[in-house]
């Protein structure tokens, strides 16, 4: 799985996976209302179906994954738990993309042994076998629609909720295009 480590310590993974391009815009509750009422989105469909998403993000105490821009998380939505892994892909200058894949897990804790052997081994190497600890959590209501432009489908998601770590809680509001 491991192909190369650049000068910043970022690992490029070569896995059979899909690529995803995302654009996220931070906003507030009034910005989400404006987005929902925009001409393009208001005419796309009559409703914005919603679902609650809870996500816990994990890393070592030293932040070994974060330093390499690797995100390990466990989502809970609709009574299912899904472990996700996201990492940066090298792209031409000025563009950014991420590799990502997800697998079901039995509970709300990550288990890197459930990934394929190469991925598990690489994560174990990066973390040096240290315990993965919950760093922070998000909980938000996601309302989304899929729009069609020419030959492309774009999911527009409006997320409103909070980010929590320890006893601190901050509001979360963003518009995501994927």
Do the bridges between strand 11-13 and strand 18-20 make them parallel or antiparallel, or are there none, so unpaired?
Answer: unpaired
Structure-token match 């039995």, residue found: 106
* pLDDT value for 19: 52
* pLDDT value at residue 126: 97
Query: According to the model, what pLDDT value does residue 62 have?
Result: 96
Which top CATH class is 2-177? mainly beta
* Tokens describing residue 27: 């906003």
Measure the CA–CA gap between 41 and 13, rounded to whole angstroms. Answer: 36
β pairing state of 23-26 and 71-77: unpaired
Q: What is the pLDDT at residue 18?
A: 46
Confidence at residue 73, expressed as pLDDT on a 0 to 100 scale: 98
- DSSP of 72-92: EEEEEETTEEEEEEEEEE--S
pTM: 0.79
pLDDT tens, per residue, the chain with 178 residues: 444 555 555 555 554 444 557 889 999 999 999 998 888 787 655 577 789 999 999 999 999 999 999 999 999 978 899 999 998 876 655 555 678 889 999 999 999 999 999 999 999 999 999 999 999 999 999 998 888 878 888 899 999 999 999 999 999 999 999 8
Q: What does the pLDDT read at residue 22?
A: 81
Per-domain residue ranges for the chain? 2-177
């Amino acid at each position: 799985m491991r192909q190369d480590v650049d000068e910043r310590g970022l690992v490029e993974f070569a896995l059979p996976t899909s690529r995803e391009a995302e654009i996220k815009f931070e906003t507030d509750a009034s910005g989400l209302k404006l987005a929902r009422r925009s001409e393009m989105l208001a005419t796309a469909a009559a409703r914005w179906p919603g679902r609650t998403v809870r996500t816990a993000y994990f890393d070592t105490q030293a932040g070994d994954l974060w330093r390499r821009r690797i995100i390990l998380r466990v989502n809970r939505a609709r009574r299912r738990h899904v472990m996700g892994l996201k990492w940066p892909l090298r792209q031409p200058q000025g563009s950014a993309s991420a590799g990502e894949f997800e697998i079901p897990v039995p509970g709300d804790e990550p288990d890197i042994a459930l990934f394929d052997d190469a991925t598990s081994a690489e994560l174990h190497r990066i973390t040096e076998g240290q315990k993965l600890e919950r760093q922070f959590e998000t909980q938000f209501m996601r309302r989304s629609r899929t729009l069609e432009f020419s030959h492309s489908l774009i999911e527009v998601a409006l997320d409103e909720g909070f980010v929590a770590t320890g006893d601190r809680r901050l509001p979360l509001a963003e518009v995501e295009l994927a």
